[in-house]
Structure 1
Amino acid sequence: MLRVGGRSVTWVPPLLLLVAITVTDYNTTGEFRIISWIVLVPGIAAAICGVWTTALYAVLSIGAYTFVDNAWPHELQAGLPDFILVTTGGILSTLACAVRVRGERRALHMRDVTDTVRSTVLRPLPKDWGGLEHAGIYLTADAQARVGGDFYDIQPSPHGTRVLVGDVQGKGLGAVETASVLLGTFREAGFHEADLTVLADRLEARMVRHREYTTALGRADGDRFATAVLLGFPADRDDVVDAVVFGHEPPLAVGPGGVRILPLRGGLPLGFRDLSPGTPRTHRVPLAPDETLLMVTDGVTEARDADGRFYRLAEHVARALSADPRIAAPARLVALVRDGTLRHCRGHLADDTTAFAVRRTLAAGSEGHEGGRSPN
């Protein structure tokens, strides 16, 4: 908690308090006795130090109390009652510190588990993975949760590179589980399926099967769904992108020519195919090699300021791009979205917030098949 030059100095505040109380009591008149305040020393140590350090301060406090109190005439001594107070305070402080340290270790362990879950759902992506320069930011509405229902991934394949960005309805472990299920299907089918429409069908079928599974378990999240954008960068073309939209905001294309919203019709979210049976439509739209595709979840589009106004993402990006064309780089772009969203809502995120940006690299055509084998 307190470090100087990389070394912990949490032991300093209780030591200063111990010395201050001891010296003050020793050098004041008998009518002004504050030695019993020394019970505060192990109490402060319990809040910021380790167990053994707290126990040491408990012993030092008892010793200092005994020394200073016996230095006064008998009629001015605080006596046995305050000695019992200091001793009991030291013991209780040590026990409280042990409980605190145990809770902190458990919290750190749970954070490690959560980080493992997050890295499994949102796996680290190698640089220029699948011939795409990429960058992403992910902020959970609950700062302690560290993982939620937003997801994104890139899957190279012999047929081109596929990108999936989405948002599972709801929060909690059920949303994380659903996101993991969809990403697992995307990573496997995205490698093997040549047709983006077939991949979209596989995602829809997996979502339906997962809902049937959770319903059979009697869980209350049997009506869960997900919005998503599925992109395909053909291996033989560098001037187009294929896209399927599942009830999600269409991507923004950001480049030297400005900012434009891809003209995509939004289909139904994953899990709602029964409302409109049929094969999802795949759109092929032109995309310049130097244009970046920016996809965000509703944590960005539904962010509100103090007056209830929504965050105008396209306008914000367009202004920034006109001031600095380099903002179109994926890393700069997602940083701009992150900062703009947090500034707009004053740091109070109402939902998980994700921004993911991709742009073709010069070697895009030669990196699309991972050596012809399925990745892990």
Structure 2
Amino acid sequence: MAESGEETNRHTRREGWRTGRRALPPAAWPEPPGRARLAVFLLSAALIVGVPVADAFLPGDIHLAHVLVVPVALAAAFAGPRAGAVTALLAVLALTSAGLERHTLGSESVLVEVGSLVLLSVLLVIFARLLARTRRVSDVTQGVVLRPLPRRAGHLSIAAEYLAAESATRVGGDLYAVARTSDATRLLIGDVRGHGLESVGDTETVLGAFRAAAHRQDPLPELVAWLEDSVRWGLAEHAGSGGDAGERFATAAIIEIPDGAPYVHLINCGHPPPLRLRGGQAHYLQAQESAPPLGLGGLADSTYVVSSFDFAPGDRLLLYTDGVTEARDRHGSFYPLLERARVRAADHHPEPLLKAMTADLLAHVSGRLRDDVALVALRRDTADGTG
């Protein structure tokens, strides 16, 4: 029987594999949507126009020059360095016009105000340019390490969403990958210990091991055993002489979906269970036996048992990381994944399903994630590509 969302959360928190995870810092706010940018533009315009107008009616010993740095900062932060530079130019012109109105443009105080505004504006534009460059580097890094998933593989339609807790990095400890054999599609979703840039090396180790072996015809248990050996060796190499090799691991769910059989085969290595959506219902696919996370399999005599579940045409599978189930709202309540998935169970196409789920998740946490989030949705299609 499927567990409730809260029961699954408690089960996940009790698992010994997760006791070593560090507390994660609050994420940066995500990039603003179009309405927010419009609001920033209107506020900036109002300040740039309003300061010289208000200055004309204020006593001579009151100046509003310092207010003009606000629209420059807003434009640079939310619209980029070019918009910040244009806004800075307009702000300097507004301050200059205010000095002309008062006939004080040549005074020492006004010259200091103009010079201070120019200096602060230059610093803000430089900072915005550095931030934009960092984001571009992060985008390239994400494209190399976490490659986009194909929209179709075999008889499957696929969609994926990734939300990094540290939005400036845009890549972190959550991972996913797809590989094809001659008669099946294999998928990996996982979560390495840590987050952000510090986990990118471990993420690449796990993904590289999967990509190197998943396309082979080896049975699923042999594939996972090979992944365990490769990941354990790779994480130990990354640890070097730091002595933390035993603290590096990755939870993972490895899935195989044959082209010619209505089943999904699963080996779960300490990862949250997948969700199957069928006929307006959602159920967790609990593996018969949960193996240790990748990198910790050498601590015990691990055997990998395959669990099989029905997966007929039209069924969907939702794979996710614990950044979803452990996301809290401002009252401390966990995101009710099972309940929300049932609401969306009628969304047959993976892409709109994930768009709706990620929007709902961000609304639950008021746009502020504390852990990386990865979501992958699959749909079993018929031979002609329909559900």
Q: Determine if the alignment matches structure 1 residue 245 to structure 2 residue 279.
A: no
- The DSSP-based 3-state class of the residue aligned with 1:327 is coil
User: How many Å apart are 1:312 and its aligned residue?
Assistant: 3.4
Matched, 1:87 2:111: yes
2:144 aligned with 1:124: no
Task: Give the structure 1 partner of residue 166 of structure 2.
Answer: 142
What SS does the corresponding residue of 1:192 show, helix, strand or coil? Answer: coil
- Could you tell me which runs of 5 or more consecutive residues in structure 1 were left unpaired when the two chains were aligned: 26-31, 70-77, 366-376
Write the distance in 1 (CA, Å) between the matches of 2:265 and 2:173: 25
**Matched-pair identity in %:** 31
Moved more, 218-227 or 352-361: 218-227
> How far apart are the structure 1 equivalents of 2:266 and 2:152?
20
- Find the aligned partners of 1:307 and 1:38 in 2 and give their Cα distance: 40
Superposed, 1:215-234 pairs within 5 Å as 215-218=239-242, 220=244, 223-234=247-258
The residue correspondences of 1:88-103 to structure 2 (distance < 5 A) are: 88-103=112-127
12 and 187 in structure 1: CA distance in 2 versus 1, 3 angstrom threshold? same
Which amino acid is the alignment partner of residue 237 of structure 2?
Y
Runs (5+) with no aligned partner, structure 2: 1-33, 76-82
Classify 1:52/1:219 alpha carbon distance in 2 versus 1 (closer, same or farther; 3 Å). Answer: farther
Does the Cα contact within 8 Å between 1:51 and 1:94 map onto a contact in 2? no
Q: Tell me which of 51, 60, 66 is aligned to 1:17.
A: 51
- Pairing 1:362–2:382 present: yes
The one-letter code of the counterpart of 2:52 is L
Which is higher, the Rg of structure 1 or of structure 2? 1
Q: Report the residue type matching 2:195 in the other structure.
A: K
User: CA contact under 8 A between 2:51 and 2:94: conserved in structure 1?
Assistant: no
C-alpha distance in 2 between matches for 1:182 and 1:199: 13
Taking the aligned partners of 1:229 and 1:160, their CA distance within structure 2 comes to: 16
Query: What is the RMSD computed on CA atoms of the aligned residues?
Result: 3.4
Matched residues in 2 for 1:3 and 1:143: separation?
18
User: What secondary structure, in the 3-state scheme, does the structure 2 residue paired with 1:162 have?
Assistant: strand
Specify the SS of the correspondent of 2:165: coil
Shift of 1:114: 0.8
Deviations 1:266-324 (A, max 9, x none): 21111111222244222333321221111111112223345544333223323543xxx
1:100 positional shift: 1.0
Question: Equivalents in 2 of 1:53, 1:252: separation in Å?
Answer: 49
Counterpart amino acid of residue 278 in structure 2:
G
Distance (whole Å) between structure 2 residues aligned to residue 272 and residue 206 of structure 1 = 12
Structure 2 equivalent of residue 372 of structure 1: none
**Does 2:373 match 1:350?**
no
- Structure 2 CA distance for aligned equivalents of residues 19 and 85 of structure 1: 19
Residue 187 of structure 1 corresponds to 211
Deviation at 1:41, TM superposition (A): 7.5
The offset of 1:125, in angstroms, is 2.4
Moved more, 36-45 or 348-357: 36-45
> Structure 1 counterpart of 2:63, which letter?
W
SS in 2 for 1:124: coil
- Residue range with higher mean Cα deviation, 159-168 or 186-195: 186-195
Q: Does 1:196 align with 2:196?
A: no
Cα gap change, 1:176/1:17 in structure 2, threshold over 3 Å: closer, same or farther? Answer: same
Of the structure 1 ranges 40-49 and 130-139, higher mean CA displacement relative to structure 2 is found in: 40-49
Structure 1 Cα separation of the partners of residues 71 and 284 of structure 2: 57
Structure 2 CA distance for aligned equivalents of residues 181 and 8 of structure 1: 47
Cα drift, residue 9 of structure 1: 10
Alpha carbons 1:135, 1:357 under 8 Å: kept: yes
**Which of 261, 269, 277 lines up with 1:254 in the alignment?**
277
Pairwise CA distance, 1:90: 0.9
- Identify the residue that residue 33 of structure 1 maps to in structure 2: 60
Paired positions, count: 340
CA 1:336–1:20 in structure 2 vs 1: closer, same or farther (change >3 Å)? closer
Structure 1 residue 342 displacement after superposition: 3.4
In the alignment, residue 113 of structure 1 is paired with which amino acid?
V
Change beyond 3 A, Cα 1:41–1:138 = closer
CA contact (8 A) 2:138 2:168 kept: no
2:275 touches 2:282 (CA, 8 Å); kept in 1?
Answer: yes
- Is 2:324 the partner of 1:304? no
What TM-score do you get using the length of structure 2 for normalisation? 0.75
Task: Provide, for residues 319-348 of structure 1, a one-character-per-residue CA deviation record: whole Å limited to 9, x for no partner.
Answer: 543xxxx32432343334324433444444
